[in-house]
Structure formats: C-alpha cells, structure tokens
Amino acid sequence: MCQFSFFFLGSAQLMFSVTDVVEKTECNKTVILPCHVINLKGNNANVMFVTWKKQGKRIFSFDGARQQFYRDPTVPSANLASLADLPKGIASLMLDGAEAAVGNYSCEVTELNREGETTVELRQRIGSWFLLVEKAIIIALVFLVIILCSAQFSIIALKYEIVPQKKRGIIVAGIIFTAAAVVGTVLFVQDDYNAQNQSGLGLIVLPAVILVPLQYFMFGMVFDSLQQATFALIGLQILGYIIAVVGFALCVSACPPLHGSVVIAGLAIMAIANLLSLAYVFIMGSRMKDRPRPGKAVEEPLNDAKGVMLE
Ligand SMILES: *[C@@H]1O[C@H](CO)[C@@H](O)[C@H](O)[C@H]1NC(C)=O
Ligand SMILES: *[C@@H]1O[C@H](CO)[C@@H](O)[C@H](O)[C@H]1NC(C)=O
C-alpha cells in the first residue's frame, strides 16, 4: 500500500532534473536558467503552463493553451529557451545577461492537473574579459616598450646633434603613443566586457605602429648608412606588431579571449626588438664616437671636393 501511494503521489507531481546553481560572468551575453521536467505525459505545449519567479515574484509566464506570454517590464528579453522543446519538458528561461540579476529563480510547470516546481540560483562569477595577470602583462609590456624607446631616444639626443624639427617630430609621436597607451589602459583595466574595454585594448595595441618609423628615424640619426642589423631589428619590430594586431583581432570578438597569449607574444617581441635596438645604439653608437657625426661627415668632404674642383 505504501508503495502504491508513493507511486500515486509521484505520478501527480512533475519531476525535474535539478540544477541548484548556474553562474554567469561578464562574458554571458545571454543567460539560460535551466528547467527540465523529466516525467511529462502529454508532451503537448497546449496543455502546459510555465511560470518563472524571481525571489518569489512572477517575472515570466507562458500559457500554452492561449499561446500567451507575460513578461515583467524588468526583463523584456525573457523568453522560453526553446518553445519547440517545451513539449519535451524543457521550460528553461533565456534572458539578456544584463537583465539577469543574481538571485533565486523558480520554475513552475503545470501539465493539465499535474504540476511541479524547481529552483535554481543564479550567481555572478568574478571573471572578466582578460585574466588579471594577462591584463597586467599586456599593460606592463606596453609601458616597457615606451620606456625602452624613450631611453634610446635620450641616449641619441645626448650624443648626437639632431635637427630640431626631427627631434620635435619624434617627441610628438612619442607623446601621442604614450597618451593612447594611458587612455587605453584606463579603459582596458575595467572589469567588464564591452566596447570600452575593446577600444582600450585597441588603443594599447594599434598605435604601436608608430614605433616602426620612429625606430627607423632613430637609427638614421646614429648610423650614416643603415646596416643589416638595423633592418633586422626593424623587421623584428614589424613582426611583433603584426602578431599583436592579429591577437587583438582574435580577442576583440571572443569573451573570454581565447588568444590573449597572442597579444602578449606580439608585445613581448616588440619589447625585445626595442631592448636590442637600445643595446645596439648604445654599443655601436659609442664605437662610432670618434668618427665625425653623420651630418658633418657629409658636409666636410663635400666642401673639400668643391675646393678641389675650384682649383
Ligand atoms: C555563461 O556562459 C558560459 C560559457 O558560454 C556557459 O557555460 C554558462 O552556462 C552561461 N551561464 C548561464 C547562466 O547561462
Ligand atoms: C538563494 O537560496 C539559497 C538557498 O536557499 C540561499 O542560500 C541564498 O542566499 C539565496 N540567494 C539569494 C540571492 O537570495
């Protein structure tokens, strides 16, 4: 008898495959709250009624007989995850990540005279577009590049005469690049995944293209003719930039970013290229110390030649 009544009670109730907790992060554009009935009999949406409550307050319902939806104004995006799967017992709720506040949601399903309820808790998981450590490395690498570049420029400016116009040009380019990196960093560090973060990373990565001509001009101030090594260093710089931009393109559309390491690799190569360039200018530049500066080296023989020609 006991067994029978248990069976009878069980059959009057709708049973669910229970999920206690679901988590969302900044990356969830849409959130799905699961609700799976496992013992439907009719498998017919016309005899079903679904109600979703948030913290006890009705936010959504679907009346299968009338094919009518109710949505609370706070969750205009709320919908059944799949109306077609409702007859199979799937009454999961889908809503915009932004509208899905954390809390306890309950799903009530009625099929003719049988009904049941299940509760799922929606939690926010701390997680953002990039891991904190990835963000820190990206930002550190960009500022390392800026420091290495400035150091190189300072050495050159101290040792060699530079046409003021060129000097100003390089300083302006450097300031633009630094300003972009600072603004980019401010936008990028926010714990979100939105247009701001994306443009922040863009401002960190994309303007680094300035460094290529900058490096070319700086080498030109030190060496009268550019050697193979300087071209190799500029090539390395370009390679790093291309990798960083490819990484940026891959990251900007994915949350969480699948290829954050590509951006890091690109920026690291750029930093290495800058470090090697700094060392090269420092070592080769001092070897050339005794020789006349490029500017004079060109002028003087020219004057001599003129003198000879006049004679
Ligand atoms: C959030 O997104 C992740 C990854 O796409 C997914 O596994 C998870 O179920 C989503 N969370 C919710 C509540 O929908
Ligand atoms: C949801 O319910 C669980 C268990 O009953 C409780 O521990 C938790 O605090 C509730 N969450 C909210 C946001 O009310």
Q: What is the mean pLDDT of residues 163-168?
A: 86
Percent of the chain exceeding pLDDT 70 equals 88
First to last CA, the chain: 132
Average pLDDT, the chain: 86
Q: Is the CB of 103 under 6 A from ligand 2?
A: yes
Ligand 1 cavity residues, CB under 6 Å: 22-24, 28, 31-32
Q: Where are the domains of the chain?
A: 16-124, 132-293
Counting beta carbons within 10 angstroms of the beta carbon of residue 208, is it exposed (0 to 12), middle (13 to 18) or buried (19 or more)? Answer: buried
> Measured at the alpha carbon of residue 132, what is the angle toward residues 129 and 138, in degrees to the nearest 5?
85
Q: Which residue's CA is the closest to the ligand 2 atom numbered 11?
A: 103
Do residues 267 and 245 touch, judged by C-beta distance below 8 A?
A: no
Tell me the CA–centroid distance for residue 123 and ligand 2, in Å.
10
Average pLDDT for 242-262: 90
Distance, CA 153 to ligand 1 centroid (Å)? 49
Reply yes or no on whether the pLDDT at 295 is more than 90: no
Position in ligand 2 atom list of the atom nearest CA 121: 1
- The ligand that comes nearest to the alpha carbon of residue 122 is 1
Q: Is the pLDDT of residue 39 over 70?
A: yes
CB 77 within 8 A of CB 99: yes
Q: Looking at the CA of 81, name the nearest ligand.
A: 1
* Pocket lining: 82 vs ligand 2, CB cutoff 6 Å: no
Say if ligand 2 is within 6 A of residue 104 CB: yes
- CATH superfamily, domain 16-124, is Immunoglobulins (2.60.40.10)
* Predicted local distance difference test score (pLDDT) of residue 288: 62
Q: Look up tokens 């990798």; give the residue.
A: 243
Would the pLDDT of 99 be above 80? Answer: yes
Does residue 3 carry a pLDDT above 80?
no
Does residue 258 have a pLDDT over 90? no
Q: What is the CA(24)–ligand 1 centre distance, in A?
A: 6
